[in-house]
Structure 1
């Protein structure tokens, strides 16, 4: 079963600020509830070809995986992919100014892939858990950035 989960949030902060913060993997543990650590495997900052190792807890399991940045348009879009582990995944962030004042940002977070191993057995459970996690993560990012006005 293929997985394709999309969530979005409107954040009361300028697009450039939201994108710069969210695109920096170093910040991920602050707003992703399931990510416990991040380690750069290539020198920062983010660029196409950058590699970053993540450790997360998901559905009671520890997951370690490496994302490679495959597309990056600062302030607009970032695509990360991993081919390893039980859940090869592509994560796509997009950002766009929202509203007439351009002081808000619409951010989308999309995860898609095809689970294998333990994740393929309960793919419907995985999708539901991902959907809940993405909503919570974007809500956490929104709260964090709006508090720093």
Structure 2
């Protein structure tokens, strides 16, 4: 079973500001609840081919994986992909200026294997909940800067 989860929210800040902050993986531990650390393998800033190591905690398990930026339209779209670990995944962030701020979409999709494959339905539900809260945290973080 594949997992494909998408959430969206209007973040009440200009698109350039939201995309610059959310599109910088260095900031991910500040607004993604499950991401504990990010370490760059290639020099920042984010560019096509950039690689970084992520350490996360999800459903009580520690996961470590390397993401690579595979698609980038600065200020509009960022796609990162990993083939590491029990849950190879692709994460897509998009930003669009709308009335009231920036419509941000966050999508995670992948094909889990092993234990993760069996737990895919539970994982998808937990991911959707966590991702919605992450977008709320992002808005709060931007408001407090």
TM-score by length of 2: 0.98
Matched residue SS, 1:86: coil
Given that 1:69 and 1:81 are in contact with CA atoms closer than 8 Å, whether structure 2 keeps it comes out as: yes
Counterpart of 1:51?
A: 51
Matched residue SS, 2:20: helix
Once superposed, what is the RMSD of the aligned Cα atoms? 0.8
1:86 to 2:86 alignment: yes
Counterpart of 2:112?
A: 115
TM-score by length of 1: 0.95
Aligned length: 145
Map Cα deviations across residues 25-50 of structure 1 (whole Å, 9 max, x no partner): 10000000011110000000000000
Which consecutive segments of 4 or more residues in structure 1 shift more than 6 A?
Answer: none
Counterpart of 1:126?
A: 123
Counterpart CA distance in 1 for 2:116 and 2:130 is: 16
Unaligned runs of 5+ in 1: none
Counterpart of 1:143?
A: 140
Counterpart CA distance in 2 for 1:86 and 1:62 is: 11
Unaligned runs of 5+ in 2: none
Counterpart of 2:22?
A: 22
